[in-house]
Amino acid sequence: MPENVQATSAVPATTIRARMKAPEWGALLIFLLAEIVFFTINSPYFLSWPNIVNIITALSITGILAAGGTILLIAGQFDLSVGSGTAFVALMFAIAAQSLGIMPAVGVAVLVGVGIGMLNGFLVTVVGVNALITTLGTLAIFRGLTLSIGGASSVRITGFDWAIARPFLDIPLSAVLFLVIAVGIAVLLSRTVFGRTIYAIGANENAARLVGIRTKKTLFLGFVISGVCMAITGLVSASQLGSTSGTTGTGLELAVVTAIILGGTSLKGGTGSMFGTVLGLLIVGVLNNGMTLMNINSTWQQVAAGTLLILAVSFDQIRQRFIRA
């Protein structure tokens, strides 16, 4: 992948200094602001508090999964099973809620999420199967199980409406939860030993191993965290929709990866941040919201979204080259 590897040994020192001043995500922030200005001009509803809340609420499920995904991608790993994991958690929760009641069912959901994460982690770190294959496999397995066990029709879940409650500032709890998790993971990644270990493993797994870091244990934990995120999103989804079905969460994996990579985390691992991921999420989220407010046909929305995705990153590349010159 062409992220201008290692800048050879001969990168002029000026570049380094310039980079320090204009952070990685500077261009993305500008891009986001440009989007906001554009939509504010084009829709009277865009820059209103309810709409801002809408944007964040719409991001909450993708965002929570992206938080776990950011940890994994920084460590050089993938998790594509997040969407079907969410659906499976939600289904298990719905079934358990019917027979055991809500609170025990929440426990079941957490166990299922952690279980999925442990399964992925075991396959990747112990058996040694490539993370992409592993999670493509579990993606299919849990989607298949959800459809087989739950059947095609959706299952109703009642008495579990916390996620759409709006206790303060008219913000739904699901959005609050997303913000809390985002901040938590941001702190975890940038401030804790565990977080820095994740970066070290992603930057050079061998080097990390040679300084005595238990790389496999850490990666395993990363997958478990991703599993916990699935448990949470499974519960958020169940609560928001008051139901769950076989198609819940379809395609989330791609939305998650897109946001993370757009936010500057490299597929090679070792770089990235939760802040970048949040920017990535917002760029996509604002775009979708704004285009719908402008009543743009969804097929053209796709074209615009693809174009802007590329533009956002191109912009960053060109800015970097500009600084270098």
Partner 1 sequence: MSAPTFLSVRGIRKSFGSVKVLHGVDLDLPAGSVTALLGENGAGKSTFVRILAGDHHADEGNIEIDGAPISFRSVAQSREAGIRLIAQEIADAPTLSVAENITLGAVPNRLGFVDYGAMRSIAQRALDSLGADLQLDAPVSSLRLGERQIVEIARATAGASRCLIFDEPTAALSDAETKRLFALIERMRSRGVAILYITHRLDEVFAIADRVCVLRDGRVSLDAKVAEVDQTAVVTAMVGRAVASHQDHHVYAETGAARLVEVRGLTSDSFFNIDVDVAPGEIVGIYGKVGSGVPELAGAIFGAVPHASGDILVDGKPVIFRHPSEAIAQGFGFLPADRASEGLLRPRSVAENLAAPSWRRLARGAFVSRRIETSAFGRWHKTLKVRSRPDGAERIATLSGGNQQKVLLGRWLEAGSKLLLLVEPTRGVDVGARQEIYQVLRDLARQGHGILIASSDYEDITEAATRAIVMVRGQMVAHLPQNEISTARLTEAAGGGAHA
Partner 2 sequence: QDAGITPPPEVAQFEEIAPGSGEGLTIGFTQLGLGVPFTEALQKGMVAAAETAGVNLVTCDSKFDAAAALDCARQFRTQNVDGLVTFQADAAAAANICAEGPQVPVIAIDIEQQPCQTAFVGAANTYAGQIVGYAIGQYFKENFDCQYDAWVSLESLAVGVVNDMRMGGMREGFAQVCGEVQNLRVIDTGAGGQADTAQRQVTDTLTALPGAQKIIVVGINEDVVTGALAAARSQNRTENLYLGVQNFDPGNCQIWTAPHFIASAAYFPEKYAQLILPNLIKAVKGEEIAKQILVPHEVVTKDNMMQLYPETNC
Ligand X SMILES: Nc1ncnc2c1ncn2[C@@H]1O[C@H](COP(=O)(O)OP(=O)(O)OP(=O)(O)O)[C@@H](O)[C@H]1O
40: contact with partner 2 by CB under 8 A: no
List the structure tokens of 311. 């533009």
299: contact with partner 2 by CB under 8 A: yes
What are 293's strand-pairing partners? none
| Cβ 249 to partner 2 shortest distance, Å | 7
List the structure tokens of 307. 């174009």
* Amino acid (1-letter code) at residue 306: G
* Amino acid (1-letter code) at residue 190: S
DSSP 231-284: HHHHHHHHHHHSEE-TTTTTTHHHHHHHHHHHTT--TTSS---HHHHHHHHHHH
12: contact with a copy of itself by CB under 8 A: no
CB distance 86 to 248 below 8 Å: yes
Q: Residue 159: helix, strand or coil by DSSP? A: coil
The secondary structure of 161-174, three-state, reads: CHHHCCCECCECHH
Residues 162-191, one symbol each (x = binds partner 1 by CB under 8 A, - = not), give -----------------------------x
Report the residue number, 147 or 209, with the smaller CB distance to partner 1: 209
| Cβ 235 to a copy of itself shortest distance, Å | 23
What are 76's strand-pairing partners? none
Report the residue number, 9 or 170, with the smaller CB distance to a copy of itself: 9
The binder of 212, among a copy of itself, ligand X, partner 1, none, by C-beta within 5 to 8 A per type, is partner 1
Q: Residue 75: helix, strand or coil by DSSP? A: coil
- Measured CA to CA, the distance from residue 11 to residue 205 in angstroms comes to 25
Listed in sequence order, the residues at least 6 apart from 300 whose beta carbon sits closer than 8 Å to its beta carbon are none
7: contact with partner 1 by CB under 8 A: yes
297: contact with partner 2 by CB under 8 A: yes
CB distance 157 to 243 below 8 Å: yes
What residues line the site for ligand X (CB under 6 A)? Answer: 9-11, 13
The residue within the footprint of partner 2, chosen from 240, 258, 265, 277 (CB under 8 A), is 240
| Cβ 268 to partner 1 shortest distance, Å | 9
Give the residues lining the site for partner 1 (CB under 8 A).
5-18, 20, 191-197, 199-200, 202-204, 206-214, 270-271
Give the residues lining the site for partner 2 (CB under 8 A).
43, 45, 48, 50-51, 54, 57-58, 61, 147, 151-157, 161, 163-164, 172, 237, 240-251, 288-289, 292-293, 295, 297-299, 301
Give the residues lining the site for a copy of itself (CB under 8 A).
1-6, 8, 76-78, 123-125, 127-134, 136-145, 147-148, 205-206, 219, 254, 257-258, 261-262, 266-267, 269, 297, 299-307, 309-310, 313-314, 317-318, 321
